[in-house]
Amino acid sequence: MNRHFMISIAIAAALTGCSLTSPRDVGNGHRVFLEPLAGKMACKGRMGSLVVAYPKVPDTLDTSRIALLDQTGRWDYFVGMRWADFLPGNVQSALIESLSASGKISSVSADDTVELGRLTLGSEINTFEAVYHADGAAPDVEIDIAFTLREGDSPRIRKQFIASSKVHAAADNVDAIGAAFEQAFTEVQRTAVSKITCR
């Protein structure tokens, strides 16, 4: 019995040896942070309290993995990179901080708090990926987010718009692609915060 047991263990170890000795790169070595905006808005006016809802997102983007479309249009993810958190959580956190820093809103909170806002900001992430083209050059980073500003949790829409950006990465490596994502997201945030806070 012991002999058979030991042989089974040896076979199992041999079959799994590759995964034990050479772990797959899950991208933790290069994490990309989506930073909030720092400056205040120069426009006039001030808003009351605002709740930022957790963004809606397709299943393919509801992950900490960074998406890409290759030259053939095939959907995939980068092996050596990750978002610092799940993408929608990253986007929500950055938007809350950016709107708070704008100086135009009395209070900004997430929708998982007990605080109720006079206004609610909903968003839907349509595009958030690096797109490779047939020429094999560095990718374009494309971001497209639809925003809806409502009166509290009522169906009444105050503002509705899309903020989008496309930034060409300077090179096809993790640093350049990460920088392109950060630049594109900064541009999307500037558009969104301006449209939300400026009348």
Residue 172 vs residues 101, 104, 139: alpha-carbon distances, Å: 33, 39, 7
> Using one digit for the tens of pLDDT, what is the confidence trace for 16-65?
333 333 334 445 668 999 999 988 877 877 888 999 999 999 999 999 99
Domain limits for position 80: 28-197
pLDDT of residue 109: 92
- CATH number of the domain encompassing residue 39: 3.40.50.10610
114: confidence class by pLDDT, cuts 50, 70, 90: low
The pTM for the full model equals: 0.83
- pLDDT of residue 3 exceeding 60: no
**Does residue 42 lie in a domain region?**
yes
* Total domains in the fold of the chain: 1
- pLDDT of residue 14 exceeding 70: no
pLDDT of residue 100: 94
Positions of E strands within the chain: 31-32, 47-52, 65-69, 75-83, 105-110, 119-131, 140-151, 157-168
**Does residue 34 lie in a domain region?**
yes
Q: Which two tokens stand for residue 33?
A: 């942070």
Question: Average pLDDT of the chain?
Answer: 85
pLDDT of residue 45: 74
**Does residue 177 lie in a domain region?**
yes
3-state helix, strand, coil in the chain (%, to 5): 30, 35, 35
pLDDT of residue 46: 81
Q: Which two tokens stand for residue 117?
A: 């806002």
Rama region for 197: left / alpha / beta (φ>0; ψ in -120 to 50; rest): alpha
**Does residue 23 lie in a domain region?**
no
> Using one digit for the tens of pLDDT, what is the confidence trace for 154-197?
788 999 999 999 999 999 999 999 999 999 999 999 999 999 99
> Using one digit for the tens of pLDDT, what is the confidence trace for 120-159?
999 999 999 999 998 878 999 999 999 999 987 778 899 9
pLDDT of residue 42: 76
Q: Which two tokens stand for residue 187?
A: 């541009």
pLDDT of residue 9: 39
> Using one digit for the tens of pLDDT, what is the confidence trace for 54-93?
999 999 999 999 999 999 999 999 998 999 999 999 999 9
